[in-house]
Amino acid sequence: MISKANLKLIEGALEIQENEPDELAFMARQLVQVTLPHAKPGQDTHL
């Protein structure tokens, strides 16, 4: 059985998938900023 929260999530995803966007937008700057470390990683840090 699907919970109400999951059903709402699925319905929202279907609505987004079915509707064409009016315009395309990119968030490259924000995505890069949140993926960069806030300090220099240590020697034994592996990504």
Instruction: Let me know if residue 46 belongs to a domain.
Output: no
Residues counted in the chain: 47
Confidence of residue 5 (pLDDT cuts 50, 70, 90): very high
pLDDT value at residue 45:
67
Instruction: Let me know if residue 47 belongs to a domain.
Output: no
Contact 2, 10 (CB under 8 A): yes
Instruction: Let me know if residue 21 belongs to a domain.
Output: yes
Domain of residue 20 covers 4-35
pLDDT value at residue 10:
93
In the chain, what are the helix, strand and coil shares in percent, each to the nearest 5? 50, 0, 50
Instruction: Let me know if residue 45 belongs to a domain.
Output: no
- Does this model's pTM top 0.85? My answer is no
Instruction: Let me know if residue 41 belongs to a domain.
Output: no
Domain count of the chain?
1
Higher pLDDT, 44 or 30: 44
